[in-house]
Amino acid sequence: MPTPSLLCFGELLLRLGAPGRQTFLQTPAFDVHVGGAEANVAVSLARFGDPVGMASVVADNALGLHAKGELRRHGVDTARVRAAPGRMGLYFLETGAGHRPSDVLYDRANSAFTLDTQYDWARCLDGVAWLHMSGVTPALSQACADAAVAAAEAAVAAGVQVSFDGNFRAKLWQAWESDPPAVLRRLMSSATLLFADHRDMGVVLGVECDADAIEDKVVQAARHAFSAFPHARYLACTQRRQHDVDHHELSAMLVERDGTVHATPRHALNNVVDRIGGGDAFAAGVLHGLLNGQAPGDALAFGLGAACLKHSIHGDFNLARVADVEHFLGEEGFHVRR
């Protein structure tokens, strides 16, 4: 397998979901999927045909080997995924219905990933052009926060561009004596591409974007980000309107350091199958576009198309191919493709 052009760093998880739209343990069974924010990005990029790898630690047992095997099955280079003593991180999902929202319960403390945080970043990043991380990893523990900062700083020193998704998870940060703004500032200061919006800048920089329109809030957030983070060239995010758990509207924006603003039309998402991983699908789509020389506006459109399609796919992974996204963006209708 060729050296990956992009490396994702984060924890592989097992998702245990209540079947269908049932509440937790309404039926004593769970549907099991492999996931994790960064792993979702890796799988999506591999499905798009991009050489991508994963750096992580899984439990040295059947569950860990299965998770690693799932990435490899979809074409992700797992040479930098090692097995170590410990357990797999888990999360439980109760999918909402109507006006009952979905609910997530985390069970990730003392996983193999959080206990073994030593990486040879010079070796891991050798030949890599981009490193992708998210705010989930540093939220797990002080050791994971230190590992994430070490990865980002090693990438900058090696000339590797960093992509960082804010992915603020309050439940995880609150489980230990953490300082989210301080940690996230260090990580965002290394990033070329930020997946973040005005809410992230509020958490990280303590600034308030006081515009009325959401689009103007995003532009203000981008200005704050570019002022605070010297490496940042792009800030991208989605905007979601929810009528109920099955009916959403999704659009996206990308702001460049020079002030250029790209915005997409809003797409209606009816009969949502699974929204988990939609943000990761968006990140993967934007990264795919930039990796393959697309103009920022075209990369944004591709990212939104990928995110929209993810809402029709069960599980954490976006299984869409490039042709599927292009078909969606081409608005060729819903006829059976024969």
Intra-chain end-to-end CA distance of the chain, in Å: 32
The model's pTM: 0.95
Catalytic residue among 280, 298, 316, 324: 280
**Secondary structure (3-state) at 215:** helix
Written as six digits, the tokens of 300 are 């944004």
Residue bearing the bigger pLDDT, 245 or 254 = 254
The pairing of strands 161-165 and 130-134 is parallel
Phi, psi torsion values for 265, nearest 5 degrees: -65, 165
Residue 334 pLDDT > 70: no
Question: What pLDDT, on a 0 to 100 scale, did the predictor assign at position 336?
Answer: 42
The alpha carbons of the chain give a radius of gyration, in whole angstroms, of: 19
d(CA 224, CA 216): 13
What tens digit of pLDDT does each residue of 94-130 get?
A: 999 988 999 999 999 999 999 999 999 999 999 999 9
Position of tokens 């029709």? Answer: 312
For residue 187, give the nearest of 134, 109, 257, 255 by alpha carbon: 134
Region 2-6: mean pLDDT is 83
C-beta separation of 280 from 244 below 8 A: no
Domain boundaries, the chain: 1-107, 233-329
- State how far the Cα of 125 lies from the Cα of 283, in Å rounded to an integer: 20
Residue 258 is among the residues annotated as catalytic for this protein: no
Q: Which of 33, 70, 11 lies closest to 276, judged by CA?
A: 33
For the domain made up of 1-107, give the CATH fold. UDP-N-acetylmuramoyl-L-alanine:D-glutamate ligase (3.40.1190)
> In this structure, are strands 234-244 and 247-256 parallel, antiparallel, or unpaired?
antiparallel
Confidence of residue 331 (pLDDT cuts 50, 70, 90): low
What b/e readout covers 168-188, taking b as 16+ CB neighbours within 10 angstroms?
bbeebbeeeebebeebbeebb
Return the percentage of the chain with pLDDT > 70, whole number. Answer: 97
Phi, psi of 199 (to 5 degrees): -70, -40
Q: Among 156-160, 167-171, 206-210, which range has the highest average pLDDT?
A: 156-160
Question: What six digits make up the tokens of 48?
Answer: 């798009």
